[in-house]
Each structure stands twice: as structure tokens, then as C-alpha cells.
Structure 1
């Protein structure tokens, strides 16, 4: 096999576009004797493409083991493989981080030691030394009596009983259930709050069957049993709702002086205090956003942007894929200012952000999984030349 052919196969592999039949060709070639020199030359070409150079020997055996043991290609004896569905828009960030992933994961300690020896000017040595992990399913449930219960993805048990309501945590989801209607009025006075920390997210099934997803650093407060006239709760941060239909009992969300009226619908509310803006996005159904005498009825695909610093609300059409990316396990950047991007990184990875330099006008486009290691994520950012990054403890330093 020629170096150019091998380079095409390796490139398709790191971009997650390698077909099963091409994977078999690649593995068959790597089983042949004498492949090491051509493989080394192909890897050097990839390193050159990434602006990396080294005089250290390339560990062909380690790279070979990394490829042939790839679990994605072992779903059957025939190596059947269903490729991941990449976003239709802005795929560059996935490709960039995949390239870094090939270096960091397949080349393992060889590359890290080479970087730490200062053999490159690509400024990733500090990024590669972090123990920071992505966020996960975790939250704190505060009961009406002030009792706090820690929740995580492993919980699978009844965590509390209040009145006639049983509260159960099941693998990242909190469920309220009652088989009796006695003492309904007294239960309306019992207020519960569930809050996610930075680096956390959680799902709740409310007493009326409404499903709620909380993003990082978010919370909702709600009665144990809703009243007969309305279902009202308050929230902070970012929350996605799938409201159980009940025309006789409207659903109301209070957030920073804004009221959202719902009958039965799917919508997202993003209201982080430091964003200075409440974004209410309708996915399905109909909602009305109101503040004082101001009223706005939304259609699916529309977003109400209510300023927290000025008395105005603007209605815009948005990309629902972008709005719901967090709920679906992704970051989605659509010409997004770098500082706003780093806010999302800060909330999910539970890190502080420090800036050294002026980043006005710097924007990112791309989609990437929230499960990505922060080292690969930042290395992908660096590949775009937008900034350089250093990690010190739980602080990410952004530099020109």
C-alpha cells in the first residue's frame, strides 16, 4: 500500500468516516510485514498537517493496537459498523478534535511525553495535564422541611416520602408518584426545589407528569401537588419542559419577573443571570411570554429574547438544533463569541475562566459532544487559531 492510500484511510478513520470495508483493508495492511515504514511516513504527514514536529521514534505497534482494538468495529463477526450521525452544519470542530484525539488517544503517552519535553510550539502541554472531567447527572433535592438529598446517575431507590407523594430517583431522573388523592390541599403547601451544580444536569418528572430537564447551574421550585386552577413553578438557569396537557389547568413558569403561560407544549428557557437575557424558545405547541402589560405569543421555532436590563422583548427565529443541543448531549456554536463559548465550558466542566488578552470579535462555529475530554476540546479550539489555552488546577487561562 502506498503512503498516500494509507494517509487517506487514516484520515477517514480519525474523521469517523471510515467504511467497514475500508477498515478491513486498513487492518489487513497493518497485519502485513514491513508496514511500519509506510505507517510512520503517514503519521509524520498527519503531524505536519497539525503543525507538530518531533525527532522521537513513532510507536507503530501502539498505533496498530489502538486501531485494531477499536470497539466501534466489533459489533459483529463481520465488523459491521453504523457510523455516527454528524451534524449537517459546521462539522469542522468534530474533525479538529478527532484529529487531536487520534494523536492523544492512539499515540498515548508517546505524544504527551513529546509535548511535555517542549518539542512543539503548539502550546498544548498545559492543556494535556488536566484531570478535569466532563459534567454528569447530579443534583440536590431540597424537601419542604429543608432536608437536602444528593442525587446522581447511580441512584435507583425511593429517596423520600412527603404526604402521599413518593419520590424516587432512577438513573439520573427524579420521579414523583402518588396512588391516592387524599390530603391534596395540604400537599400544595409543600415546596420542593431541585438544583444542579456547575458540571451537573438532571431530569424530573413532576407530579402532573410534566417532564423537565435541568442544565448546569439551574434550579426549579414547585409544590408537591399543583393547585386545581394552575400549575405554577419558578426556575433559574436553563430548563427544558415537556408539559403534560391539561387545558383546564394551565402551566405557568416564573423566571426573573417574566411569566410564561403554557397549556401543553415543549419549550426551552435559558435565563442565566450573567447572560442578561431570558431566552424562551418554543419547540412544539404554543406559549405566551409576558412581562407587565407586554404579551408575546410564540410559534414553533421562535424565540422570545427578553432583556433583564431594558424593558423590551424581541422575537426571532432560531435553529432548534442549536437551542436543544445541551439537552441532546452536545455543544453547538453558531458564530458564537468566544467569551460566551467559555461560559458554557465553565458551567459544564466546573472550571473558572481567566482571560489574558482581548478577544472581542473572536467567534466559533461547530458542534461537539459534551462528553469530550476538556483537553481535546481546547486542543480543537486551538487548531482554529482563535486562542491558546492553559489549565492550572480548575482554572482555564485563555491567551492570545
Structure 2
């Protein structure tokens, strides 16, 4: 600051006096307080005493560089309370550079802090700040502190996801309370236990924070997973039904081939409903609405101008339809061509659009690697995921795209 200790105190006092005279409430954030306290305890206490005496409504102690550990906070906070008196309103401002910003905030609350500063999803400089999407549910649901209304808390997952979207960032699937995996369960024994008592693997009801239970299908999963997904999809399979074992057999083989159904429940439902109709045919619905006769994709570069064109031939209700479309890439061109072909027979296809497209390498074999493509489709705000795998990225993309269209038609054209 290029000033003396005494002049610093004068600036604190003058600034707060000016703000108070102009009718402004002052929340005094004591930047670098904990480091300052460790370096010069008495002067650190003087600065916040000066702010309080000048009229600050709140004294917020800041761990500005994020180096404080939870066990260090208590003794310092207690000394501050003894020095300022019980009438002082104290707060905490933590940074996550040591990965303990949330723990620091809770520890401060236990030692008398009545204000916790934080951000949605913990967004902040460097490693971020205290995450309000974690702190608010803990205070409300686990500690009984009425810091947020029940209705607002039920919206916190939606708010979290909205903020990620506004920041153009992918959400943290493993984020407590609001992440996609926060209430996800995988493995036959776990899922079987969950069906008997949800408290075995869930510390709160996910609906309290606007989240939902997610049962993941994997090679570890057994009949319990299939039965749970059956119920979720509105099907009526029972554990005695031989279709359950056959569906599980198909799913396990698919996963050996590189398929995963976490985030691709649309593809999973197509398989399960197909085998519910015909136990021997997991592709029943993939052939019901249309069949591919063939496609061709061409990408040409003319100087700096890249052009992709897809030609496609499909058979729908016994009729062949041959068309072409271009796009800003081969997958986009295929998507446009397929939609152009099908919309003549199924006008509702116009309602869907591809909202996300992800490619993952399954086996590392350089440019010959097998890939997994995950597609997310938007239908007037309703989202579903589908999947395709292949050594050829275009074919993998095609498989995922086809499932996204099939799922739309399955919901639109079929009644059970």
C-alpha cells in the first residue's frame, strides 16, 4: 500500500466514515486478515477494531490467498471475538487454494460467523471460493439453519447448471448436491440395497436440492439395475420375467464393445423397449421407423472454404427416399440429410436439434482408435442422450444420431 501502519488505520476510519455519512451500509472485508494476524497479531486486530468503531456493520475475515487450514481458524476467530466483543457481526471469506474453502466456511460458522461469502459453483479467481451450492444445503438440511427457503433450495441444481451454461462451461458431474453424479448409483449390490432403503447410499433426498436419483447401468450392475430403469421408463418388467436376464446379457455385451449408457439413456431405453416387444431383437425399434439403404459423406477444401455434403438413402414405410444436404462438417451434413429425409414422413422430427456432441477414444491405437460418440438432443427443452461406437468416427456418429431420431419417434409415434 506504500503507507505507514498508522496512516492505514486513518484510511480505514476515513473511508468508513464517508460511506456511513452517505447512508451506505459498510461490510468491511479484511483482506489478507489471517496472514496478517499470523505476522502481526496486534495490528491485525487494530485494523478490524478501527473499522468496527468507525461504523462498519460487518467485519468479514478474509483468507485471501487460500492458505488457511480449518484447524487454524478456530483459535484466531475466538481471539477476534474476545477482542471486538460479542456484539460484533463477523463473517468469513475463503478461497479454495488449499481445497478447503467450504470447510473453512463451516468452521467459521461454528465459531460465530453469521455471514458466509461465496459464489455459485465456487467460481472465483485462481482455485475459486466457497461454493454456495454446497454450503447452503449443508446449513439448511444438516444443521437446521433457516438461511434459504425450501422452494429456493429446490431450485439450486437448476441455478448451478444455468450458471455453468452462462459461463460456457461444462458442469462438474461430481459436484456435491447439484452434480449429475451426486446421487448416482452403480453396481448390482448397491442398487439392490437402494431399492430396499435409499438411505444406504444417499445422505439426503435429492429432490430437496432439485436433483434426481440416477441409476447407472454397467457391467457391475445386475437385474436390480434393469428393474430400476424399467420402472423409470414406465415399463412393467418383473424380476421373474426372462426378458430381464436377456436385456442384461445384451447390455453387458454392448459395454464390452465400448458402449456406456451413463448419459445415453435414450439408447438404453430403445434396447429395453425393443426386447420387451421381441426378446430376440434389441434393434426392433431401430428398424420399425426407417432403414438405412446407404449414405455417402464428402468433405472438400477449396482454399479456406470447407464444404461437407451428405447423400443418404432411407426406406420408410416401404418407400425409398434419396436426398442430400450440406453442413459445416460431415456429422452436421449427415444430421441435416437424415432430418431432410425423415421430415416428409414424420413432421415432428423438425422439433429436435442436436445440443451437444462428444467424442471419446475407447482404445488407444492412434488414428485407428475406436471411438465412442455421445449425442445430446433437445426437444423443446427436454434432453436425452444417445451413443454410437465404431472405428470410423462418421459411423459412430451416425449410430448415435440414428438413436436420437428413433427415441423421438418412439415417444411420439408409439403408445403402450
Relative to its length, the structure with more strand (as a share) is 1
Quick one: higher RCO (CA 8 Å, sep 6+), 1 or 2? 1
TM-score by length of 1: 0.29
Relative to its length, the structure with more helix (as a share) is 2
Larger Rg: 2
